[in-house]
Amino acid sequence: MQTIAELGEFGLIEVFTRDLGLDAAVSVGPGDDAAVFLVNGSAVCSTDLLVEGVHFRTDWSGGADVGRKCVAVNVADLEAMGATPVSLVVALGAPASTPLTWVRQFMTGMREEAQTAGVTIVGGDTTAAERITVCVTVVGQTEGRAPVLRSGARPGQVVAMVGRLGWAAAGLAVLKRGFRSPRAVVEAQRTPQVPYRQGRRAAEAGATAMCDVSDGLVGDLTHLANASGVVIDVDTSRLVVAEPLTVVAQATGSDPLSFVLTGGEDHALVACFEPGFVPDDWHVIGRVLPAQDDGRPAVLVDGEQFSGPGGYDHFA
Amino acid sequence: MQTIAELGEFGLIEVFTRDLGLDAAVSVGPGDDAAVFLVNGSAVCSTDLLVEGVHFRTDWSGGADVGRKCVAVNVADLEAMGATPVSLVVALGAPASTPLTWVRQFMTGMREEAQTAGVTIVGGDTTAAERITVCVTVVGQTEGRAPVLRSGARPGQVVAMVGRLGWAAAGLAVLKRGFRSPRAVVEAQRTPQVPYRQGRRAAEAGATAMCDVSDGLVGDLTHLANASGVVIDVDTSRLVVAEPLTVVAQATGSDPLSFVLTGGEDHALVACFEPGFVPDDWHVIGRVLPAQDDGRPAVLVDGEQFSGPGGYDHFA
């Protein structure tokens, strides 16, 4: 089995940069000290660090899954601003013993997901590391739209979402018990299905606040409620509890709704709109209320304070 | 001793984002899904991944040294394009047991170096990792200047440089033997002194090819010679062999010139100019010749093929 040690750093860079298919906006791609590209409007930038054993396991996910996931979670942040992704750079740390096959699959996954997301891979960095470590950074553009922050929710608005919730968490519950099915949730854990282009759509429809659900619906809505100084009330009767989630909940003796309310890593988008301005493909899941009597922002679930676990803390 | 586990992920983010002092070009800083800022001209982007035990050792470097180094090596790539840095995002992976003091010093170092480099820290990511892992990504602007690539060297030009060579390598030789002096080279190993703003200066003076010296002068000039299809002849009588390098060479029984020719991590800038157009502060170290009879680009040292080691390979 050929490893990246035999290939060497410059051979590895060649694997990375082959057939990238640069967009017309990119004037300098990989191979120089930095990439150069055009940005229409303001630049929008987000970075994500993914570490083997924390964000993925090589026995659960193949190289292509990891490559796709790295692009997806990163571009989701730009969608959550209502921005359009333009360019992405990737830094890979890996042990010298990493199979070349894994790296090839990783790059194939990255390229495929980048194409789906509408972003061009323009450069990167490689280094030795004890565990596979990937840092992806995306730069996008506002194209004249105002970025949609977390702080713009106003009482009287509705909260709507697009994408999936709870699938990746259900997949994790399955994988942790050593199973590989239902396949749909296991696939969702390996790579999220980000609702690409829906962030811009929300911005165009007048969304005043938006975020992606990376840590869990209640946790991420809490950040949004705090930033906006409002209360958000989630109506669970409007949440989709998909059939595979019910199957997993039954098999693991858990509540399928808890996957939906607290499961992260699906990268659905949630946003606040004036009633009547919710775009097609989005559906309403709650409403924005004024801050409580004590002035505190909060997230309610069916009108009650939510008592379950909140978001994910990497250091807890 | 307080660790980042006690602080938690959101406490850590607060330490990171306090008093960042955002530039006027930045409209959205840390705390949302992505940062938003203006770019004048084309965007220029580079990423670097630095891993404990590979790029730095916590027993050799303090948190502030590591923070400074991460910014310096990354901005140097933009200098090497003749671009102006605007914004920088940082992703930190660290064990839960990392002392809070270390993280505070790291951020102080990053902030100080960012200020020196003229770049604003606009966002980031934090995650758990077994070893301290830092990924920095800088986005800059061309401001109407054409980016200076590696491929523009032409026979008849002179090769000039600004900054230091061999200092970090001499520092590494000292540290590896368990010594802490000469202090100047040890400091250089901990944090490079990047010749900030000189990249733009070179671009304005008409530099047609440029790179920073991250892997070693001969190694990096080889990349430039290959990209340009030329031969570069380095005149060692024009290279500065600083006194601390001579001291280290004597103590370790090595040739001080080998530090200068092959030592990396100082991030000097080398560029090709028409004779007579070399900016102040830069000095000529060689000349550009046509490709050899066999058509091969190469780097010569005093007219001879160089037989020493080339650049650094992370996976070798």
pLDDT for A137 beyond 80:
yes
Query: Hey, which residues does B127 pair with through a beta bridge?
Result: B93
- At B312 the pLDDT is 62
Q: Provide, rounded to the nearest whole percent, the portion of chain B with pLDDT above 90.
A: 84
Segment holding A302, helix H or strand E:
none
- Identify which of B231, B242, B241, B244 has the alpha carbon closest to the alpha carbon of residue B295: B231
B96-103 average pLDDT score: 94
Mean pLDDT of B279-283: 97
Does the pLDDT of residue B316 top 80, yes or no? no
pLDDT score of A294: 85
CA distance B232 to B153: 9
Tell me the HSE value of A179 on the side-chain side, using a 13 A CA sphere: 15
Across the interface, whether the CB atoms of B91 and A8 are under 8 A apart is answered no
- The CATH superfamily label for domain B4-141 reads PurM-like, N-terminal domain (3.30.1330.10)
Contact state of B32 with A89 under an 8 Å Cβ cutoff: no
**Confidence check: pLDDT of A174 > 60:** yes
From chain A, the residues in CB contact with B315 under 8 A are 4-5, 7-9, 12, 96, 126, 128
- Beta strands A230-234 and A298-301 are parallel
Tokens of B187: 């400091």
Residue ranges matching CATH 3.30.1330.10 in chain B:
4-141
A212 vs B93: CB contact, 8 Å cut-off?
no
In B, minimum Cα distance to A12 occurs at B315
Percentage of the residues of chain A whose pLDDT score is greater than 90 = 84
Instruction: Check: CB of residue A188 under 8 Å from CB of residue A164.
Output: yes
Residue B6: pLDDT band with limits 50, 70, 90: confident
Cross-chain Cβ contact B128/A315 below 8 Å = yes
pLDDT value at residue B311 = 57
Residues 17-46 (B) with a CB less than 8 A from some CB of A:
27-28, 31-39, 42-46
Q: Give per-residue pLDDT as tens, B36-53.
A: 999 999 999 999 999 999
Check whether B103 has a pLDDT greater than 90: yes
Residue B309 has pLDDT above 70, yes or no: no
Q: Which residues of A touch B87 (CB under 8 A)?
A: 43, 45
Contacts of B28 in chain A (CB under 8 A): 81, 147, 149
Q: Given CB atoms, is A85 within the 8 Å cutoff of chain B? A: no
**What is the per-residue pLDDT across B201-213, written as a single tens digit (0 to 9) for each?**
999 999 999 999 9
Task: Please give the class, per CATH, of domain A7-141.
Answer: alpha beta
Instruction: Please check whether residue A14 touches B, CB under 8 A.
Output: no
Cross-chain Cβ contact A47/B212 below 8 Å: no
User: Best residue in B2, B10, B32, B134 to probe A by mutation, most A CBs within 10 Å?
Assistant: B32
Lowest mean pLDDT among A124-138, A163-177, A232-246, B3-17: B3-17
Q: Does A96 touch chain B (CB under 8 A)?
A: yes
Sign of the C-alpha dihedral computed for residues B260, B262, B263 and B266 taken in this order:
positive
Output the six-digit token pair for B243: 């006194």
- Residue A214: the pLDDT is 95
CB–CB of A44 and B35 under 8 A? yes
Contact present, B55 and A132 (Cβ < 8 Å): no
CB contact under 8 A, B51 and A93: yes
Cβ B202 vs Cβ B279: under 8 Å: yes
Is the four-CA dihedral B203, B207, B208, B211 of positive or negative sign? negative
Cβ within 8 Å, pair A46-B38:
no
Q: Is B53 on the interface with A (CB under 8 A)?
A: yes
Q: Outline which parts of chain A fall under CATH 3.30.1330.10.
A: 7-141
CA distance A76 to chain B (A): 9
**B260 inside 8 A of chain A by CB:** no
Are A28 and B149 in contact (CB < 8 Å)?
yes
Instruction: With a cut of 80, say whether residue B313 has pLDDT above it.
Output: no
Q: List the 117-146 stretch of B: residues with Cβ below 8 A of A.
A: 122-131, 133, 135, 137, 139-140, 142
User: Comparing C-alpha atoms, which of A149, A120, A148 is closest to residue A136?
Assistant: A120
Interface confidence, given as ipTM, is 0.93
Cβ contact, residue pair A34, B131, below 8 Å:
no
**Exposed, middle or buried by CB within 10 Å (0-12, 13-18, 19+), for B194?**
buried
Rounded to a whole number of angstroms, the distance from the CA of B260 to the nearest CA of chain A is 21
- Provide the percentage of residues in chain A whose pLDDT is more than 70: 97
Mean pLDDT of chain B: 94
Chain A residues with CB under 8 Å of B215 CB are: none
Q: Look at B91 and A47 and tell me if their CB atoms are within 8 Å.
A: yes
Q: Could you read off the pLDDT of B120-146 as tens digits, one per residue? A: 999 999 999 999 999 999 999 999 999
List the single range of A10-24, B202-216, B246-260 with lowest mean pLDDT. Answer: A10-24
Fold of A158-305: Phosphoribosyl-aminoimidazole Synthetase; Chain A, domain 2 (3.90.650)
Contact across the interface for B147 and A50, Cβ inside 8 Å:
no
Pairing relation of β-strands B84-94 and B120-128? parallel
Nearest beta carbon to residue A38 from set B27, B42, B140: B42
Q: Using omega within 30 degrees of 0 as the cis cutoff, is the peptide bond preceding B290 cis?
A: no
Tell whether B219 lies on the interface with A, counting CB pairs under 8 A.
no
Taking a contact as any Cβ pair under 8 Å apart, which residues of chain A between 191 and 210 contact chain B? 210
CATH 3.90.650.10 spans which residues of chain A?
Answer: 158-305
